[in-house]
Amino acid sequence: MLVGESTSGFAQAVVLVAAAAIGTAVAYYLLAKCRDRISDEGVASDLLTNFREMRHRGHLNESEYRTIKTLLTDQIRGGESDVAPPSGT
């Protein structure tokens, strides 16, 4: 009788440890994914600010700025843009 109870307790412990490991892995994955998204949005926002300053200084013309703004704004929103970056620049 004691051997059966010991095996059952051991099996339960193994299942609990496996479930905890899987739960930890899923939580880590989700947090990393959220962290990457927040980081990407921050980078795109910072880039947009830098390009806006470049336009005000005359380093970019209005058309170039609008193209960049469209691409970055779409990236911040999480979509894909239909506007292709200008070639040769």
Domains of the chain: which residue ranges?
Answer: 2-77
Q: What is the pLDDT of residue 39?
A: 57
Rounded distance, CA 14 to CA 19, Å? Answer: 9
Cβ neighbour number for residue 72 with a 10 Å cutoff = 19
pLDDT number for residue 47: 84
User: Residue written as tokens 């880039």?
Assistant: 47
Cα gap 88→13, rounded to integer Å: 62
Q: What is the mean pLDDT of the segment spanning 60-76?
A: 85
pTM of the full structure = 0.42
